[in-house]
Chains A and B, each alone.
Chain A
Amino acid sequence: MMKLSVAPQDAWQPLPPGDWNADAARHLLRRSGWTARPADVERAVSEGLSATIDRLFPASPTLFPEPAMVANFAEAAPAYVQRIRTAPPEDRRLLQREQRERAQATLTNMTVRWMQFASQAENSAIEKWVLFLSDIYVVSFEKVYNPPLIFKHFDILARHALGPAPELTKAVSRSPAMMIYLDLNQNQKKAPNENFARELFELFLLGEGNYTEADIKQAARAFTGYRTRPAFGDVILVDNQHDDGEKTVFGETGNYNGDDVIDAAYRQPAAGAFLPHEMVKFYLSDTMLPRDYLYGLGSAWSSEGEYSLRWLARRFFASRIFFAPEFRGEFIKSPVQFYLGLLQDLSLDVAPVPRFIVGPLRQMGQILYQPPNVRGWVGGRNWINSATLAARRTMTESAFTAIDEDALNADEQVEIVAARLNGADRFTVSDQSLRSFAGMTPEAAVSHFTSILLAKPPMPAFTAALSDFIAQGPAEPAQRMHRLRRAIATLLEAPEYQLC
């Protein structure tokens, strides 16, 4: 058990203004977003903690716009489904395969668009928050196989991201992707399917041990009759499939529908502490805070905060425990954070070539929209093993290797050209961008990069090894530039850079 420097009764008090400084700002920016660029740190320090959090988690955030390819897929879906249905059996298989391939390509495109959107510093915190919510309200493309529904699910999460939590949960219960993923769409009066009700209690709202098998069976009855047509993405409640008998959930009896069950779950004491528990795991530490800390925040959130997600985010990210020294620089970055943080740290743009994005994310262990299972990504040390570390290093190396544009296929070239026209044309680290550092002493250059790239000051031997490497060898500028580049790449591949 980690020794905590803040007592439970003080943990969620705001950070004293005197403790707000550049180090604290870096911690906030790295944990709430992807990294801490020097200019953003400067701005945060001058604006103050409270104003910075307000800016990172605005009352009405900019939403990730629906990619054109997703909209096209949605528009064409009903006709395709009809075509497949009416095709002669021998053609059906081929049409189905085409539709699956189209779905895969559309999802890939959505991944690229989202990475571009989330890489913008002004969207980073809110998109990370949506990713956090999606790691609770998990759906997977592997089962849903419908990009517009996946988009819609994330859109629901984003629209409710900072509103009342019960509204979010209710909206999720009407998310077609969720209804398919957890078989709510199959849940009928004469044969309730328990999948959604179980995960609602276990993984979305309360956690294991805070409900009974009987609660699940009864709750499943309340969620009967929810139906969606995947090709249309609409949701209706089918009366004759809905069980309108009495149900007893958490010891309360009534003629409950799904929304009533969600409200009843939020009345359980475990509901307040559940999301704080998930936030600690996602944003703060591998080591879980003791129960009294979680319930301290949980009971304040349910009473004072009235289950507002924005209240919770503001309280969490401004708290003394969030800034406690024992947590600084001790958290392993997720692959998405590693990827986008690396680009932001190197002032690079997302190269909109699908295989440059989807491949590395897969190798690093995080395929967007396809978490390994309904629990989502476990995170922390689970991100790191020899295979995923190797993938992080490969990713870093590709940021230092110019793209061979002649080797791109036509679609990829079109994407690159389109990005250039939008002014996003720095895909890999150029010598040009490092020129000012090549003139510095090796010690000064290394000190600059360790201070902006690492969450904690490294050991002296670490910096010495890097500056020795730069210093030793021919003084000829091209050679020296090469060594500077290798030193920065090594810094990014070192264990220290995997932490934030």
Chain B
Amino acid sequence: MAKNTPSPFLPSTRREFFQLGGKGIGLLAFSRFAPAFLVNSTLAAAPAPEKDRSILVIVQLAGGNDGLNTLVPFEDADYYRLRPTLGIPKDKVLALSDTLGLHPSCAALQGLVHDGKLAIVQNVGYPNPNRSHFRSTEIWETGSDSNEFVDTGWIGRYMDNACAGSPADDAHDPLAVHINTLNGVPESFASSQEHPTYGMLAYGGGRKDSEETRKLLEKVADDAPKDDDGPSSYLRHTLMDALVTEKKVQSVLAAYKPSATYAGNAFATSLRNVAGLIASGLPTRVYFVTLNGFDTHVNQITQQANLLTQLSEGLAAFQKDLEAHGLADQVATMTFSEFGRRPSENESHGTDHGTAAPLFVMGSRVKGGLHGTAPSLHIEHNQDITYTTDFRSVYATMLDTWLGSPSERILAGKFNDLPLFAAPSVPAASS
């Protein structure tokens, strides 16, 4: 299926595991060759991450994207009342319906809506919104209530629930990959059990160290104590995983030939790398990519236009690339941002921290168009909008319908699934 996949599972990597002293490497590392009954019993009821499974790509719009100027209510007089200078004139808006349309920089996204490949969930947020970047990001990434503090992320709990003991978990192929994130591993990935994850910079990058040092390093790194969860143990695990994965990832990306033109910016390059890794058949189920800079307190117009251009063109290239490689049915991409911005513009041609905002879900199996309801702007100056769709309903949909892992255990509660997918993921989430 992946046409230009350069030998996705390098046998040399497998052999190395033996050389490393067999740490954590059993028969299951070779699940593709293991008897089916053995693999199945280990997996119990949880669908395992392996190639051909559904994949979720999360795009973080860091800083708080202004939802009102992303999905513009161009027939709403209140919108123009609250946004005397930042309001986008009706004739510039890329209409999606009689009342709503996209920011002028989102032409490519408008095309995806028309093709039925882009869903827009309106007015997503949570009760008692917090306006601190960090706290609100934490709430989104952990999937918690705004007054509860949770130390695992929603993807981390997904891995705990669905992936523990799976072949990929043993084989050190990453279950989740993050590219170009702000602070290393995203909090979304924090889990109770340990799972292989992998992080890289947008532009990848080769290294010049010698084979010799790597082999010696593998030897000394494997000799450290194994029984604690202190920083030393953390470092050693990260290094060992990295040594193996790095070799594989670099060869995959170097050989990847995208079938779409990506812009040269870090965000588009990150998506190109995601496409390359998906095409290689890695068992990774979740990718996390960040586009930063949405904290537009001042001079929002140019800044947001530039960022939305990157987002729109990056996502469209990614979708086109996946389609050309016959992978589009396998992948859904969703965006999130820690909050929207305040409906009233400030005096600096910007907007301050707000609450709910729309988010995008893209994919060939997505039910395109508008979902949920638009926020009411019948509000006072400097008042915030009230969310109408809880962000955990989006997560629940991704978990139940797309990734095929019951959301109730992962989200600590029942959130209603949304009809975001026209068809279930491939293969159907069987258990």
* A interface residues, Cβ below 8 angstroms from B: 183, 186, 188, 190-191, 193-195, 198, 202, 208, 213, 286, 329-332, 363, 365, 372-375, 377-378, 380-390, 393-394, 397, 401, 458-459, 461-462, 465-466, 469, 486-487, 489-491, 493-496, 498-499
Contact A385 B216 (CB under 8 A): no
Choice from B134, B185, B201, B216 contacting A469 with Cβ under 8 Å: B216
Q: Indicate whether B371 reaches chain A with its CB closer than 8 angstroms.
A: no
Q: Indicate whether B260 reaches chain A with its CB closer than 8 angstroms.
A: no
What residue of chain A has the Cβ atom nearest to residue B242's Cβ? Answer: A386
Stretch of B151-159, B223-231, B400-408, B417-425 that contacts chain A: B223-231
Contact B213 A386 (CB under 8 A): no
Could you name 24 residue pairs across A and B whose Cβ atoms are closer than 8 Å?
Answer: A191-B347, A193-B348, A198-B132, A329-B232, A330-B230, A331-B231, A332-B231, A363-B201, A365-B184, A373-B182, A373-B292, A378-B184, A382-B184, A384-B234, A385-B185, A387-B199, A389-B239, A458-B224, A461-B220, A465-B223, A490-B220, A495-B221, A499-B231, A499-B232
Chain B: number of interface residues, binned into ranges? 35 or more
Stretch of B115-123, B203-211, B315-323 that contacts chain A: B203-211
Q: How far is the CA of A161 from the CA of B295 in the complex (A)?
A: 30
Choice from A195, A378, A401, A465 contacting B219 with Cβ under 8 Å: A465
Choice from B133, B224, B231, B295 contacting A375 with Cβ under 8 Å: B133
CB proximity of A356 to chain B, nearest CB, Å: 14
CB proximity of B148 to chain A, nearest CB, Å: 14
Choice from B132, B133, B224 contacting A462 with Cβ under 8 Å: B224
Q: Indicate whether B77 reaches chain A with its CB closer than 8 angstroms.
A: no
Contact B225 A190 (CB under 8 A): no
Contact A387 B209 (CB under 8 A): no
Query: What 8 A-B pairs have minimum CB-CB distances, sorted nearest first?
Result: A386-B242, A495-B235, A385-B199, A191-B347, A461-B223, A186-B348, A372-B182, A382-B184
What residue of chain B has the Cβ atom nearest to residue A498's Cβ? Answer: B235
**Of residues 284 to 299 in B, which have CB atoms within 8 Å of A's CB atoms?**
292, 295, 297-298
Q: How far is the CA of A394 from the CA of B201 in the complex (A)?
A: 14
Residues of A near B212 (CB, < 8 A) are 486
Q: Beyond A375-B134, A386-B199, A496-B224, is A397–B183 a contact (Cβ under 8 Å)? A: no
Q: Indicate whether B352 reaches chain A with its CB closer than 8 angstroms.
A: yes
Contact A386 B245 (CB under 8 A): yes
Contact A208 B135 (CB under 8 A): yes
Residues of A near B132 (CB, < 8 A) are 198, 202, 208
Contact A193 B352 (CB under 8 A): yes
- A interface footprint on B263-304 (CB within 8 Å = 1, 0 otherwise): 000000000000000000000000000001001011000000
Q: How far is the CA of A496 from the CA of B221 in the complex (A)?
A: 9
What residue of chain A has the Cβ atom nearest to residue B235's Cβ? Answer: A495
Contact B207 A397 (CB under 8 A): yes
Contact B223 A462 (CB under 8 A): yes
Contact B231 A330 (CB under 8 A): yes
Choice from B134, B220, B225, B292 contacting A494 with Cβ under 8 Å: B220
Residues of B near A494 (CB, < 8 A) are 217, 220-221
Contact B134 A495 (CB under 8 A): no
Q: How far is the CA of A498 from the CA of B235 in the complex (A)?
A: 8
Residues of A near B213 (CB, < 8 A) are 393, 397, 486, 489-490, 493
Residues of A near B242 (CB, < 8 A) are 385-386, 389-390
